[in-house]
Amino acid sequence: VSRVALKVLSDSSPALNAPQFIRGEGIHLIRDDGAVFVDAASGTFNLPLGYNHPEIVEAVVEQVRRYSHLSSTIRTDRGPNALDELIEQAPSNIQAGWFRDLTGSTANECAVKIAQKSSGKTDILSLFLSHHGQTQFTTAISGNSFRRKQFPDALSPHSIKMPAPYCHRCFFNATPSSCGMMCVEKIGDFLEHASSGSVACMIVEPILGNGGNIVPPPGYFQAISKLCAENDILMIADEVQTGMGRTGHLFASEAFDWKPNIITLAKGLGGIGIPVAAVLYEARLDVLDSHDHSFTSGANPVALAAMTATLKVLRSGEVLADVRRNGVKLGALLGALKEKHRSIGDVRGLGYMWGLEIDKPDGSPDVSRTEAIIKAAAASHNLILRGSRYGFGNVVKVRPPLIATEGDLETIVTRLSRAITDVERAG
Ligand SMILES: Cc1ncc(COP(=O)(O)O)c(C=O)c1O
């Protein structure tokens, strides 16, 4: 049984006597043999404040001492106050929220339910390469067939997927300077020919995370906003990965000057990895009844304590300003790696959310080299990184916790460069 558990917990299925990670400290993970690793992936992109931020730890411990669960039929000040604090920080058109999820997947399901119930319409537009979750339905609306393959119910008759704004590998074989933004222009064709004629919403990640850190070109969100407004389609920003400061803004949609009608948050919302999710939306969309969408551990008091403390840290300190400033430096350091390493085909990102596209000399994706770089970084340079598309992609993601200092960023890029050199030398 333990061998099976280990395989689930580790891609490389280590031997039973292999060193184990026993402690996290700030942006570091520490093994029982004393080795210290820099976590440049922020866990599963869900540790904006690192592993053990004292204010979050304190808030969680204090809440556990009082109670860890209350039935939703019992009144508590925790839920409404936490939701109010979150909404206060949200873009001005957002005035309401639903707080009954623990994961990004079900938060996205909730957002689609809101769009469908409020509009009376059915279809959901989403993008190739998108990742909106692991439930059957969110797998159905995500843009990857490899995750649907063996699960016949992971399909939705109302899902319409369209080419992503992926300029490095444009679906239309065009270039940003002259394409006229065909990835938006052609949506009209999908509405006309591929939909049921009843489109409720479009769900988009501000930066496509799992798909490969794909940053839409300037003007993309303004163009889809215009198109959605003209067609009475609600916009959902899936900020599960990009929200809570990752881009240097509390909400990633703010970074793109985009005002979606619904925003989903999870991952970073719990600060140090405490699971919690939220769905925020315009007041007119407050249509759900409690039986429509609710889970036993929704609005869990421990999760809300972590979220409230996380918001306080992000609001009161210099964290977001640091991410905006240092993020520019991180981009410059990674850009310099592209000059040095022939296998890097593109460098893109914002704040503390960057990706390096690893290409073959002919420009095609080099998936095996991508995986080799990630393995070399961990095995020889004590640097934890993650790849894209569950190992099917060719992007190395660099996403340190938001508390990483300028010095930490330099360390990460130096170690990453050494790992790439190792792999390039090996052929
Ligand atoms: C953009 C995005 N949406 C949704 C999800 C699903 O979130 P969860 O794993 O918390 O269900 C993820 C997870 O990686 C994600 O990156």
CA distance 21 to 79: 34
Q: What is the 3-state secondary structure (H, E, C) of the chain?
A: CHHHHHHHHCCCCCCCCCCCEEEEECCEEEECCCCEEEECCHHHHCCCCCCCCHHHHHHHHHHHHHCCCCCCCCCCCHHHHHHHHHHHHCCCCCCEEEEEECCHHHHHHHHHHHHHHHHCCCEEEEECCCCCCCCHHHHHHCCCHHHCCCCCCCCCCCEEEECCCCHHHCCCCCCCCCCCCHHHHCHHHHHHHCCCCCEEEEEECCCECCCCCECCCCCHHHHHHHHHHHCCCEEEEECCCCCCCCCCCCCHHHHCCCCCCEEEECHHHHCCCCCCEEEEECHHHCCCCHHHCCCCCCCCHHHHHHHHHHHHHHHHCCHHHHHHHHHHHHHHHHHHHHHHCCCEEEEEEECCEEEEEEECCCCCECHHHHHHHHHHHHHHHCEECECCHHHCCCEEEECCCCCCCHHHHHHHHHHHHHHHHHHHHCC
- Choose the weakest-confidence range: 77-81, 219-223, 225-229, 409-413: 77-81
Q: Ligand 1 centre and the CA of 104: distance in Å?
A: 5
CB 97 within 8 A of CB 132: no
Instruction: Please report, to the nearest 10 degrees, the dihedral formed by the alpha carbons of residues 238, 244, 247, 250 taken in order.
Output: 100
Closest to 28 measured CA to CA, from 405, 339, 424: 405
Category of 190 on φ-ψ map: left (φ > 0), alpha (ψ -120 to 50) or beta = alpha
CB 365 within 8 A of CB 322: no
Average pLDDT over residues 176-187: 94
For residue 1, pLDDT beyond 50: no
Q: Which amino acid is at 226?
A: K
- The confidence score (pLDDT) of residue 13 equals 52
The answer to whether residues 142 and 126 touch, using CB atoms and an 8 Å cutoff, is yes
Does the structure show a pLDDT above 70 at 11? Answer: no
pLDDT in tens, 235-259: 999 999 999 999 999 999 999 999 9
Mean pLDDT of 197-222: 98
215 or 81: which leads in pLDDT: 215
Instruction: Give the confidence band of 16 by pLDDT, cuts at 50, 70, 90.
Output: low
Per-residue pLDDT, averaged over 405-425, amounts to 97
Determine contact, residues 39/28, Cβ cutoff 8 Å: yes
Which amino acid is residue 105, in one-letter code? S
CA 154–ligand 1 middle distance (angstroms): 16
How far apart are alpha carbons 235 and 263 in whole angstroms?
9
Phi then psi for residue 203, to 5 deg, are: -110, 130
Atom of ligand 1 nearest to the CA of 210: 16
Residue 387: pLDDT above 90? yes
Taking only the tens place, the pLDDT of each residue in 122-158 is: 999 999 999 999 999 999 999 999 999 999 999 999 9
Judged against a pLDDT cut of 80, whether residue 2 lies above it is answered with no
pLDDT (average), residues 367-378: 97
Q: How far is CA 303 from the centre of its chain?
A: 19
On the question of pLDDT at 55 being above 60, the answer is: yes
Mean pLDDT of 271-277: 97
Reported as a pLDDT band with limits 50, 70 and 90, residue 8 is: very low
Mean pLDDT for 102-113 is 98
> Looking at ligand 1, which residue's alpha carbon is closest to its atom 4?
132
242 CA → ligand 1 middle, Å: 10
What pLDDT score does 6 carry? 45
- Tell me the CA–centroid distance for residue 132 and ligand 1, in Å: 6
Distance 46 CA to ligand 1 centre (A): 10
Ligand 1 surroundings by CB, under 6 angstroms: 103-105, 108, 131-134, 205, 209-210, 238, 240-241, 266-267
Ligand 1 atom, smallest distance to 130 CA:
1
Pairing of the two strands 36-39 and 28-31: antiparallel
How much is the mean pLDDT over the chain?
Answer: 94
CA-44 nearest atom, ligand 1: 14
Is the pLDDT score of 116 beyond 80?
Answer: yes
The candidate with the shortest Cα–Cα distance to 353, out of 172, 225, 211, 222, is 211
Which amino acid residue places its CA nearest to atom 5 of ligand 1? Answer: 133
In this predicted structure, the answer to whether residue 5 has a pLDDT above a threshold of 60 is: no
Closest CA to 234 of 103, 99, 87, 121: 121
Instruction: Report the share of the chain in percent with pLDDT over 70.
Output: 96
Residue 358 has pLDDT above 80, yes or no: yes
Does 336 score more than 90 pLDDT?
A: yes
Out of 127, 131, 214, mutate this one to test ligand 1's pocket (max ligand atoms within 8 Å of CB): namely 131
Nearest CA to ligand 1 atom 7: 104
Assess contact for 123 and 160: CB atoms under 8 A.
Answer: yes
Ligand 1 centroid, distance to 152 Cα (angstroms): 21
Residue in 42, 124, 126, 241 to alter for ligand 1 test, most ligand atoms within 8 A of Cβ: 241
